[in-house]
Each structure stands twice: as C-alpha cells, then as structure tokens.
Amino acid sequence: MFKDKKVVFSGVQPSGVLTLGNYLGAIKNFSAFSDEYKCYYCVVDEHAITVRQNPADLRRRTYETLALYMACGLDPAKNTLFVQSHVSAHAELGWILDCYTMFGELSRMTQFKDKSQKNADNINAGLFTYPSLMVADILLYQTELVPIGSDQKQHLELTRDVAARFNAIYGDTFVIPEPYIPQTTARIMSLAEPSKKMSKSDENENAVVRILDPKDTIIKKFKRAVTDSGCEVRRAPDKEGVSNLMTIYSAFTGKTDAEIEAEFAGRGYGDFKLAVGEACADALAPVQAEFARLMADKAYLEDVMANGAEEAWRNAYRTMSKVRRKIGFTEPKRR
C-alpha cells in the first residue's frame, strides 16, 4: 500500500506528566526509526478520556506531549506528529473493529483489570473497549512495527489477532504488525517499589522521575530511591532497586553492567545514587530547555499538529475506504 517505506506507529497518552520510563522506554528510541521507516507518533487524547480528565489539563497536556516528543528529538519534518482526535478515522475504525473484537478477549486485558480497580467509580464502556481503539490506531496506517513498553504487549497481540481475523473474513486488508520492545530499557521500575513499573499516575511522587523535574528534584528522588540492605552495586534478581538504577545509569552513560560494577566497587549506594541522579539530570537538561522554548510558541505547535493531521488523514483515508467497501458500507453520493 505504501510502496516506499514500512510504517512505524506509536502513541503516548496526554494523561500525565511523562516519566523517565516513557523517555527511556519509548520516546528516546522513536527518532531512530525516522530514516528507515515512515513514522507516525500520535498524542492519543481519545484514549485519555477513558479516565475522567480535567478539560483544561487535558488540553495543556496535549500541547505538552507534542512539545515533549519534539524536545526528545522527533523532527516534524521527518515524522508525522499528530493528535488522535484530529483524525476522525481513528474513532470510526475503532467502532468498526469493536465489532470484530470479542468480549472475552477484552475481558482478559490486564490493563483493563488494573484500571478498573483504580477507577472503581468509573468503569465505563470506553475503558473496556480501549484496546480496540488502539488496534484501530495501528491498523489504520498499515503499520509494520509498533514501539511500545512491555505493558502494551498484550494489546499488540490483540491487534494481530483482530487483523488476522478481519483478513480471514474479507481477504488481505491489514498488515499484521510486530511489536518493538527495547530490550534493556523497556521496563524502568518505580524508585520506591522497584518490583512495580514506574508509572505516570503513581501517587508517591518519590517513585517517579518526570522528564520535566528540575535537577535538584531529580537528585533528591534518586537519593531516596529504595535499594536493599547490602551495599554492593551489582545486578541481581534479589537486588531489584539497584538493578533498576543500573539500567537507568547505563541508558544515560552507555556503560555496561561490568563497567558500572567496577566504577562503584567499594563505594556504597550513596555515591552511586548521586551519580545516577546527576547523569539523569544532565541528560534531561537540553530536553527541558527545548521543551520550554516550544511551549512558548503555541502557534508553531498548532502548525505541526495541523500538518501532521493532514498527512495522517491522507493515509488513513485509504485504509478506511477499503474497510468500508469490504464490510458492505455504502458510499454517500458527493454533492
């Protein structure tokens, strides 16, 4: 369908202030694809409203998420950056694919189970069908590769199942996508409970490093990071906290585990935590400066959104027409 380049698609919700986990696990790696692939990076505002949002916050975070994509190195000239609700085909295909996704499949989604526990007073239908909207996001662009964190793997398996099911009924319609889960940094864990993933919505602020946290906050959070009762900087299954800090340090410095272990041999956790904090703060400083510059230029961000939506819509349209025809929808006569 798109003859020249294979397609990459990924989405980030504008539902919280992005974390180190989002940065290392996802956004930082996105720009590596732009030479080889046609890349779509989407701010998924329609996914965000499955949980109640304050409208002013949602609007601001949509701009912020786009600005952060760009500050992290995504060039809008090389990538299609856009907002999900600006391309109505996402919601349209989402509805259609709801009718090809089974109740039982959606019931097995662990993110649904987690989120309905956390939002017991608002278990709305959208929260339940959220995965089929994600399926639509991906299939709309005939995506081959989807960079995601490991928590989204189950949704990607569903995407492949739904695509294959649709293709089996109607003949080849959708490309079956593959997940791309970066090996080492896929799971950045909470600094407070290192057996849990670092989450945007964690109530304990000390558990989460935000991309936009000031340097002293970053250092303070790493100083308080939970380690263990030992004092050896070494990666081991029973040293989850230390292993997580090593992953982060390695991501920012490029050092291997052996190099890190040698660097901190006999120096204790205090020194190590400070070094991780400083490496992190120094690496994020230029991202933060660029973010501030972009947020001060809303008109430019709106241009980027408009161009992105136009480009996305042009390609989404082809899939939409094909799907509509195959399932037996009529075309309205243009007048």
Element (H, E) at 44: none
Q: Based on CB atoms, which residue is closest to ligand TRP, 15 or 243?
A: 15
Q: Based on CB atoms, which residue is closest to ligand TRP, 200 or 223?
A: 200
Q: Based on CB atoms, which residue is closest to ligand TRP, 93 or 226?
A: 93
SS3 305: helix
Please name every residue paired with 9 in a beta bridge, in sequence order, or none if there are none: 40
Q: Based on CB atoms, which residue is closest to ligand TRP, 175 or 219?
A: 175
199 binds ligand TRP (CB under 6 A): no
User: Dihedral, CA atoms, 71, 138, 141, 307, nearest 10 degrees?
Assistant: -30
How many Cβ atoms are within 10 Å of 90's Cβ, its own excluded? 23
What are 116's two structure tokens? 């309905």
The Cα 79–Cα 38 span in angstroms is: 7
The Cα 27–Cα 215 span in angstroms is: 20
The distance of closest approach from Cβ of residue 132 to ligand TRP in the complex, given in angstroms and rounded to an integer, is 11
The contact pattern for ligand TRP, residues 120-149, with x = CB under 6 A and - = no contact, is --------------x--xx-------x-x-
What are 38's two structure tokens? 């046609």
Amino acid at residue number 246: M
45 binds ligand TRP (CB under 6 A): no
Q: Where are the beta strands (DSSP E) in the chain?
A: 6-12, 37-43, 80-83, 145-147, 178-180
Q: Which of 200, 215, 223, 255 is catalytic?
A: 200
115 among known catalytic residues: yes
What are 198's two structure tokens? 């670092």
CB 46 within 8 A of CB 2: no
51 binds ligand TRP (CB under 6 A): no
CB 115 within 8 A of CB 128: no
158 binds ligand TRP (CB under 6 A): no
197 among known catalytic residues: yes
187 binds ligand TRP (CB under 6 A): no
The distance of closest approach from Cβ of residue 82 to ligand TRP in the complex, given in angstroms and rounded to an integer, is 12
The distance of closest approach from Cβ of residue 151 to ligand TRP in the complex, given in angstroms and rounded to an integer, is 7
Q: Based on CB atoms, which residue is closest to ligand TRP, 130 or 264?
A: 130
The Cα 53–Cα 58 span in angstroms is: 6
9 binds ligand TRP (CB under 6 A): yes
47 binds ligand TRP (CB under 6 A): yes
Spell out a b/e string for 153-174, using b for 16 or more CB atoms within 10 Å of the CB, else e: ebbbebbbbbbebbeeebeebb
Give the range of 10-18, 100-108, 187-195, 244-252 binding ligand TRP by CB under 6 A: 10-18
According to CB under 6 A, which one of 19, 65, 129, 152 is a site residue for ligand TRP? 152
Residues that bind ligand TRP (CB under 6 A): 9-11, 13, 44, 47, 134, 137-138, 146, 148, 152, 155
Q: Which residues are catalytic?
A: 115, 197, 200
